Structure 1
Amino acid sequence: MDALSEVLREVHLNGGVFLHAQFNDPWCIAVSVTREHCGPMLGPSTHLIPYHFVAEGPIHMQVDGGEAVALRAGEIVLLPRNDLHVMGSDLALPPVRASEVIEPSLSGGLASIRHGGMGRSARMICGFLACDGHPVISALPKSLRLDVERSDGADWIRSTFRYAADEVGAGRPGSEAVLARLSELLFVEAVRRHVESLPADETGWLAGLRDPHVARTLALLHRDCARDWTLDGLGREIGLSRSALADRFTRLIGAPPMHYLAQCRMQLAARKLRGSQASLAEIAESVGYESEAAFSRAFKKAFGAPPATWRRRQG
């Protein structure tokens, strides 16, 4: 059982592509992706994870005042927190806001940027992953880098991604949808590689994925959060005593299993309230509450308002 896959299934990743950018040295832009950039492709999701695929490089990047890095051709960088970032041939140049140089497509296709001087060229395809907020997103660093041409494994994903990006860059229709779906798979691979790179003494949600017992517990809770779980029942499922499970889970995740389950139920309930027309009674049952009243009390405690009031405010 794969805990990360179970959780990311809940996150409801939805990929899209919105920009083809061509630059020539010298250039420097400041990028902040908004819902307006993504347009009708975005849907009801609440969080954006922009990504940039460097088709021709290098391109230098600095995220939210952090350390500058050089991105090579074939690399993709994802920004899980959608932080403001600066990209260019020379980051010491005064950055131009990307929104000031984006050229919307008159035909309804990808927007474009052509910016800079007369020097060496660089090119990138920009897209996004839309999702609901989730602990796995908040636990990620400001940026994730993945070399789609030099990494081991998932070769068919990378070769297809490169082909689709080249097709998009050439202005051929149809490849945007392929690229959007592949970006979801590449995000999962980038998160997996980040988990594998964490220090041995790391704690937190992502570190919990490396512990087989904690990872299995997370998968069970996310796969069926409505089940009437007990600490004893979880321990039997994964082969640990209740005390050993509680200690290990709390040390890595930062909350006891039953508290974590309650949080999962509330997060799922909020997504259902925002994204469906189901009744409060139906949502209460779907997240493990036997009565609407008990569900309403728990929801108000978590979100500061009864579920019906909270739902109206989302509209």
Structure 2
Amino acid sequence: MDILTDIIRLMRPQAISWRTVEAHGRWGMSVPSRDMPVFCLVVTGQCWYVPRQGEPLLMRQGDYLLMRTTARYCLVSDLDTSATLHALEEGIASHDYVRWDEGAGGDMVRLVGGYFEIVPEHTALFSGMLPDFLYIRASDEEAGRLSRLIALIGEESGCDLPGRDLVMSRLVEIMLVEVWRRPLTRIDAREAGWFSGMADPHIHLALQKMHADVARHWTVELLAKDVGMSRAAFARRFAERVGVAPATYLSNWRIALAKDALINSERSMIDIALSIGYYSDSAFSTAFSRATGVAPAAFRRARRSEQPAR
């Protein structure tokens, strides 16, 4: 079972906005805050990424930046331009961009960026799996693959050919896979989270087993035995690496699968319950209500009533 494929298929990431920025000489752009993942690729030249808090970052040609959510930030040709942008921001709406260009010649900079969303019922789960901030340099092997992907995304976003939406969604899925692969080999083990768990061979194996057979009656003892650890050591390491106990992780994943089945299928409650490890529809309803605050049937009705608007 490929856990990454499992997760991305469930999340259904969708590209919703793309932008190409070209500038010469001294310039700057203030980008509004987003509560969804944002990425930026430097296609040509270089520029500074200037956050509201933290140190500026010089991005060179081929560099890639991904942020889970963002406060307003600036992209500038030089750090002195930030002050000009901050002055121009006064009185603008929170969702507005601000662009300043000196109008003189100079080296060209070309950026491609955008943002995407996933289905809303999985936003919380997805947020816990995506890095807050991921910076990939052009010298990294992954940058070349991302550059080619973003080039395809940019081409597709500007066309009106049949199948565009399908192609765009698949390209975003591939982009996320490429982005997610990197932290699995370079994760800081001191940071608890899904990536930290995936980087640990024993915990990775346990996660793989749970995803491969989610309906099985998994216990800490059984998982520990399967990965070759004592119960106490496994429970402690899982919580340290993933940030939650094994039972909590499994329950969260089961509820995510249940949400998807309730919205996108006509399967009965008992069929869904049995497929994710609950022995009765009442046990499933209790667990689902405890996790979401609403019964499964009510959740299905509410989400389906929203689908035409969405």
- Name the TM-score, length of structure 2 as normaliser: 0.75
C-alpha distance after superposition, 1:264-313 (max 9, x if no partner): 11122223334444443333233222221111111111112222223344
Match in the other structure for 1:201: 190
| Aligned counterparts, 1:22-61, within 5 A | 22-24=22-24, 25-33=26-34, 48-61=36-49
Letter of the structure 1 residue corresponding to residue 152 of structure 2:
A
Instruction: Measure the CA separation in 1 of the matches of 2:280 and 2:234.
Output: 29
5+ long unaligned stretches in structure 2: none
Partners of 2:62 and 2:147 within 8 A in 1? no
Instruction: Measure the CA separation in 2 of the matches of 1:5 and 1:238.
Output: 22
Distance 1:273-1:59 versus aligned 2 partners, 3 A rule:
farther
Aligned residue-pair number: 288
Distance 1:101-1:214 versus aligned 2 partners, 3 A rule:
closer
Alignment pair present for 1:125 and 2:112: yes
Instruction: Measure the CA separation in 1 of the matches of 2:251 and 2:73.
Output: 35
SS of 1:209's equivalent in the other structure is: helix
Partners of 1:58 and 1:72 within 8 A in 2? yes
Partners of 1:2 and 1:216 within 8 A in 2? no
| Aligned counterparts, 1:96-175, within 5 A | 100=96, 116-119=101-104, 120=106, 121-131=108-118, 132-133=122-123, 135=125, 137-147=127-137, 149-152=138-141, 157-158=145-146, 160-161=148-149, 163-164=151-152, 167=155
User: 1:79 offset after TM fit, Å?
Assistant: 1.6
User: 1:250 offset after TM fit, Å?
Assistant: 2.3
Distance 1:200-1:241 versus aligned 2 partners, 3 A rule:
closer
| Aligned counterparts, 1:226-237, within 5 A | 226-237=215-226
User: 1:216 offset after TM fit, Å?
Assistant: 1.0
Partners of 1:15 and 1:184 within 8 A in 2? no
Question: Quick one: percent identity of the two aligned structures?
Answer: 28
Distance 1:215-1:306 versus aligned 2 partners, 3 A rule:
same
Letter of the structure 2 residue corresponding to residue 117 of structure 1:
E
- Name the TM-score, length of structure 1 as normaliser: 0.74
Aligned-CA RMSD value: 3.5
User: 1:21 offset after TM fit, Å?
Assistant: 2.4
Instruction: Measure the CA separation in 2 of the matches of 1:293 and 1:134.
Output: 25
Alignment pair present for 1:75 and 2:63: yes
